[in-house]
Amino acid sequence: MKADEIRHPVTAKMCMTKDVGTHGNLFGGIMMGWLDEAGAIFARTWTGEKHVVTVKFSEIVFKRPVKVGEIVRFEACDPKVGRTSITFEIAGRVGESTVVRTTCTFVALSDDGTPRVINADGNR
């Protein structure tokens, strides 16, 4: 995320003992799950859609390890809403330090599980 971009706070997670490996670092797979959950929260909130599913995560860049007791705050920026999907950058931060970042895409679904056109106004 660039310094001048508008960051939208999404959620936060605390690294617990059960989340780390033998080197005392948060497992990458746990972080990826947190990114997916935070992404879904942002996609639903930004679009106002009830059902969204993950379509794609781009390269996930782990910038530094997360240790037990650290709180990772997730922020999204640069949302682009398409016909049935939303793409945005999402980053995890500890204090002022970015620990992970990626770009993701979610698609809105109707109740029957088919892609649904996103209301252009959303629920922002």
Residue-range domain boundaries for the chain: 8-108
> pLDDT tens digits for the chain (124 residues)?
565 678 999 999 999 999 999 999 999 999 999 999 999 999 999 999 999 999 999 999 999 999 999 999 999 999 999 999 999 999 999 999 999 999 999 999 999 999 999 986 654 4
Q: How many CA atoms lie within 13 A of 89 on its CB side?
A: 12
Residue type, 4: D
CATH class entry, domain 8-108 = alpha beta
User: What are the residues whose beta carbons fall under 8 Å from the beta carbon of 6, sequence distance 6 or more?
Assistant: 77
Quick one: tokens of 6?
A: 């508008």
**This model's pTM is above 0.95:** no
Of 69, 64, 124, nearest in space to 96 by CA: 64
Round to whole Å and give the CA distance between 62 and 113.
33
Structure tokens at 80: 């682009």
Buried residues in 74-113 as b, exposed as e (16+ CB within 10 A): bbbbebebeebbbbbbbbbbbeeeebbbbbbbbbbbeeee
Query: Which pLDDT score is estimated for 119?
Result: 82
